[in-house]
Structures are given as structure tokens and as C-alpha cells.
Amino acid sequence: MAIDITIPAIGESVATVFISRWIAQPGEYVAAGEGVVELDSDKASMEVPAPEGGVVLEHLVEEGDEVEIGAVVARLDTSADKPAGDAAEGEDTAAEAPAEAKKASAPAKPAPAAPKASKGPAKAGPAARAAASEKGVDVSSVSGTGKGGRVTAADVAAHGSSVRPAEIPTERVTRVKMSPLRRTIARRLVEAQQTAAMLTTFNEVDMTNAMALRKRWQDRFVDQHGIKLGYMSIFTKAVVDALKRFPSVNAEIGDNEILFKHYYNIGIAVSGPKGLVVPVVRDADHLGFAETEKAISELAGKARDNKLTPDDFSDGTFTITNGGIFGSMMSTPILNPPQVGILGMHNIVERAVVVDGEIKVRPMMYLALSYDHRIIDGREAVSFLVRVKQCVEDPERMLIEA
């Protein structure tokens, strides 16, 4: 029986996706749950699994095509049996078994000294292909160390470090096609500026007390929670405190309505293999510092491994981005629709400032709040940023709500 492979719902506000790569080619057998096609969206990259085992009959779209959610992209013959010649899952790793286990097993054909080169293009996930594109590396020339010889991002990095730099280009311009995800991000960033009355206000924060807090409690914090106390959790808690006092910054514009949200899902911008993504720390007002740090660390790890899912991006109410980790001194962050506010953190730099009439050297950070002026007035925006500043400069405020 032939069944359709369709594009599943990816997440809120996602109507189309791009076909990143066909994993299973026509004529190939795929088991139930195995990936058939890789998709890219502005939310995440993901694989569409086969609902049942069968042979791929045909592809209905090409790699790079943009298709709508629910579209039929391939057909699968579920009545076809798995080819008898296919190796079982356990046989793929037989060559990797310890020497003792090999001796105990029944005699078999000697394993080849090196894996045979696979036919067709090298198997590589989205992270590996993005890394290869960035470094100008041909994926087919990289030896994969992943399962079944799959090329990983680490393989690309290792390959790139062992290869001499490419010869000087003969052309004055090198053209590299934008990835589907990059195209979508570019479109959404332009839309954000065209559809919102975006304005940015600035302030600066003295990080002396926050740094002293980390230094004083870091060892005990790590011993008790197994993770370091970072600045991001302090800013996250400060933002939640400020959002409670200025609810319009946590709101959203609907059809001639303002939707005031009474929950606090804070998006944290992190750098992934394909660019900046914004997964969400949910119900941040219910989390302590340690829980917040663990949630951020988990999301950052999933971003690096390209394992974020659509649920990780959904229903954010406000975003924090930290350009300071790259050395940024000041910037004007762009809104993440439909949110109406985003806080930009920046580099911490020792500067001469006046404190109680005296010039002192203090670790200072510039803060930037971009906001939608359609529903947030300048007074609210400035007051919100001042409250964040107060909470970071004196973290005890958040404990006694002063």
C-alpha cells in the first residue's frame, strides 16, 4: 500500500518550510521512525520520520524547495519487504566491538581495515553541512565518525584544521547560496522592522555587585547545583521583575487588541551552527537561579548540537540577547515578533565613573531595550530599563521586592 509523507506542523506562525536534504532516496527501504527528509524553518531544523517501514517510491519536491505545512512531499510503499541483504542494526557496529568480544564470537569474515566509501553524497546532518558551507569544505571529502559513517560538525572542524588553506581565488567574488534557514531569518528580520514602530533606549549598569555575588557564592553554588552561576540568570530574574511592573513590555498586539500575558517565557538568543536562534525558558518567574542556569545551559547545548525542536521556540513573551560574549560594546537589537520588547546585553568594560563625587574604576555594561512604540510609551520603556539596572546593581532587591 502506498502512503503519503507529509510536512508536519512545526510550530506557531510557521506556514512553510524548506526541503533541506533527502535522507532516503527513491528505491531505498526505510524502517518506521527513520528519517526520510530534513527540513529547515526559521524555528529549527528537523527530520520527518517514516510513519511505517517501506520503500520510497518517489520524491514530489526537490531539495531547496519551499513547501507549505501539510504538503505531500513523498510516497512510501509500505507493502514492500525489507531487502534481505540489509544488515541488522547490531551488525553495523560489529567491527567496533572489543577484541575480547570478537574472540568469543563465532568465526566471521575479517573486517576491512577501513570502512568502504559510501555511494553517492556523504551522509551529513544540518549542523555538519552548515559548518562545511561556512568553511568552504566539500562534505564528500570528510571522513564521518558518526553512526553509520555520518559526518558530524566536529568532523568538518577537524577536517578543516588538517587541510591547508585553499589557494588564492582567481575570481574577485565568490558566490555562496544562502541556506534556507538563513533566507527565512533574513525575511523575518526585515518584516520585524517594517511591521513594528521599533525604537531603542539605552542605559548602563555597574556590574560590581553582581560580580561580587558570583565570586562570593560560586564555589558553594557549583557544589550544590553542579552548574556555575552566570550573569544570564541574574539578568533573566531582573527582566521578570521588571516585566511584572511594566506589563505592556510583556504584551502582544492582536487584531485591534493588546494581549497582556500573565506568564513569563523568556527567549534567550544563542548562537547555533546555522545562525542565531531564540529558544525559550518557560515560566521563568517560577525558577530559581540554579534552575534558570540549567534551563539556559540545556537549550544552548541543544542549539550547538542542532537538536532544538519547535516546542523549544514557541510562546516566548520577551527576549534577551547577549552580544557581549562576542565583544559587542553597544547595539540596537531587533524585535522577535510577535514580542514587543528585547533586551540587549553587552561587553563588560572597566571605565572611569563618578561615584559619590569621586572618580572610580568600575566594571560597566551598556544595556539596550528595543521596543514596539505602538503599545509601549517612552516613559514605560525607560522605567523598565531602569528597573533592570536597579536589580542587577543590587540583586537583593529581587529578594525583598524593593
- 5 residue type, one letter: I
| Cell representation of residue 329 | 560594546
343 within some domain: yes
Q: What is the pLDDT of residue 331?
A: 94
Same domain, 77 and 135: no
180 within some domain: no
Same domain, 11 and 146: no
76 within some domain: yes
Domain interval for residue 6: 1-83
- 359 residue type, one letter: I
Same domain, 364 and 236: yes
321 within some domain: yes
Exactly one of 4, 86, 286, 373 is catalytic; which is it?
Answer: 373
Q: What is the pLDDT of residue 109?
A: 46
206 within some domain: yes
Same domain, 349 and 291: yes
Q: Distance of alpha carbon 194 from its chain centroid, rounded?
A: 24
Please report which confidence band the pLDDT of residue 100 belongs to, taking 50, 70 and 90 as the band edges.
very low
CATH for 141: 4.10.320.10
Same domain, 58 and 140: no
Q: How far apart are CA 52 and CA 29, in angstroms?
A: 11
106 within some domain: no
Same domain, 7 and 132: no
88 within some domain: no
In total, how many domains does the chain have? 3
Is 262 in the active site? no
pLDDT tens track for 360-383:
999 999 999 999 999 999 999 999
| Cell representation of residue 333 | 537589537
Please report which confidence band the pLDDT of residue 116 belongs to, taking 50, 70 and 90 as the band edges.
very low
List of residues 6+ apart from 133 with CB closer than 8 A = 176, 179
Same domain, 136 and 213: no
Same domain, 251 and 323: yes
pLDDT tens track for 280-338:
999 999 999 999 999 999 999 988 887 888 788 889 999 999 999 889 999 999 999 89
The last residue of a domain, from among 110, 145, 164: 164
Please report which confidence band the pLDDT of residue 85 belongs to, taking 50, 70 and 90 as the band edges.
low
The last residue of a domain, from among 25, 55, 83: 83
Exactly one of 86, 219, 315, 377 is catalytic; which is it?
Answer: 377
186 within some domain: no
Closest CA to 210 of 231, 226, 185: 231
Q: What is the 3-state secondary structure of 84-137?
A: CCCCCHHHHHHHHCCHHHHHHCCCCCCCCCCCCCCCCCCCECHHHHHHHHHHCC
Q: What is the pLDDT of residue 259?
A: 95
List of residues 6+ apart from 84 with CB closer than 8 A = none
Concatenating the DSSP letter of every residue in 274-303 gives TEEE--EETTGGG--HHHHHHHHHHHHHHH
Same domain, 233 and 281: yes
Is 59 in the active site? no
The last residue of a domain, from among 83, 112, 131: 83
Same domain, 147 and 212: no
CATH for 25: 2.40.50.100
**DSSP bridge pairs for 202:** 368
Q: What is the pLDDT of residue 39?
A: 85
Same domain, 254 and 338: yes
Same domain, 54 and 139: no
